[in-house]
Amino acid sequence: MKKVLILSFLLIISSGVLVAQQNYFGVQNSNRKGMINAMMNPAEINNLTKKVEVSLFSFNVGLDNNTLSLQDIIDDPDVFENIFNDIDKPVNLRSDVSILGPALGLRFKQWSFGLTTEVKAKADIINFNPDLGSSIVDNSNGNDNQTIINIPQNQRINAVGWMEVGFLAGRKILDTDFHTLSVGANFKLLFPGSYANLGIDKFQATIIDSQDETTITNAQGSLNLSYDERWENEDGNNIEDNLWRDFSPGGLGVDLGVNYMLKKDDKPFLNAGLTIKNLGSMGMGSNQQQRNYTVNIPENEYFRVDNLDGNIDEINEQLVASGYFTINNNDSDVRVNLPRTLATYVEFSPVKSFQISLYAQKRISDENINTNLSAADLIVLTPRLVLGKFEMYSPWMKHQVSNLTGGLGFQYGGFFIGSHSIITGLMQNNSRRADIHMGLSWGFGS
């Protein structure tokens, strides 16, 4: 179990350094409405600036955590070894990457339609106990330590990758010189890639670390381990050759949205929307294994976790043979729920050259459940300077994990580049978010 913990932790951290949910905040509130807007709220496909919109590519990469600052990571790339130090609250890290491939939108009089492709990946640490984390790191460094653990809720280390092909449809319900009311939906075919989850729930234990051994005593709790069997190949060829499982859909996701626009002089004066995103789930395929263990190690009895060796199946046999770990179920039919969110926004354009927008997102699924993917609660305020095709925007975000961040971005026509955190990252030593987004689209027709 100890090696599983360490390997899972290092997997998530290495992914997190490189790579939040489809977060094109700031860009989505642009006066120029394209496929990014339609993917954030499918009702916006009725407001496309051009009759035909083609998104060539877009990507968003970011990292949020509540322990280490961007300056800490720059100063010492190995600083993640100290992520559990000097903190008295659960450690959280959220990282996602979104790559939007070719996308097409068509706007007609009352109806609009679109087709999108997107690859997503997430790697999260959710409410991880710092004492347990310190014990793992201390032992991997050969330090002596004894830690008493008492974890009342589930804590998770989680990583997932999948692909979506979306079919959008929207319709204007009301369209006058002053008001527009639209609805829309995005039906998404989900193609699972790979998934891993480690969940430790209601866990109490004493962990004794030394240079020679690591033992656990007086332990009770439950352990969830879900993994892709294809990773067990030493060369990894099985997963590299067929990451997307022959492009066989594993589920269906749905986004629903509504949009209202108040116009002045035939231009948007107030634009507001409400959307429910990521309804649905996906099966992870026959290669996915999930095991749920009950842990019971009496006081004055000791289990040496440093003796665990071999692949995951061999470690499983050693755990069960010890008598301290009981498998409640062994499930190969694993379904993962998408990170459901409720989002709303309002854009206000009092004058031609200035706009201010407010965006809020709330997770509506329980991230402590092992089969639920996580999404962050957040609110974003974005002032924007509009000079014809050129726009400059500055998103200021209150994030569930990284707290307050401020950024800057630029857009000219269909090209945009920006960050939600570059201002606070440069001005503050304790900024806990790093990200960048960029994209290019093209449209024609009036």
Please give the helix or strand (H or E) that residue 118 lies within, else none.
strand 111-128
240 CB burial (10 A radius; 0-12, 13-18, 19+)? exposed
pLDDT of residue 394: 97
DSSP state of 101: -
Q: In this structure, which topology does domain 2-444 adopt according to CATH?
A: Porin (2.40.160)
CA–CA gap between residue 397 and residue 164 (Å, rounded) = 27
Tokens of 160: 């997932």
And the tokens for 234?
């030493």
Task: Please check whether residue 100 is in contact with residue 186, taking contact to mean a CB–CB distance below 8 angstroms.
Answer: no
- DSSP bridge pairs for 64: 94, 433
Residues 6+ apart with CB under 8 A from 312: 4, 225, 227, 232, 289
Per-residue pLDDT at 142: 56
pTM for the whole structure: 0.88
Beta strands in 129-250 (DSSP E): 145-151, 155-175, 179-209, 214-228
pLDDT means per 10 residues, the chain with 446 residues, are: 44 39 75 93 96 95 86 70 74 91 95 96 90 69 75 92 96 95 98 92 90 88 89 58 73 98 92 97 88 93 88 87 87 88 96 95 94 94 96 96 94 95 86 92 90
Q: Is the torsion defined by CA of 365, 366, 372, 377 positive or negative? A: positive
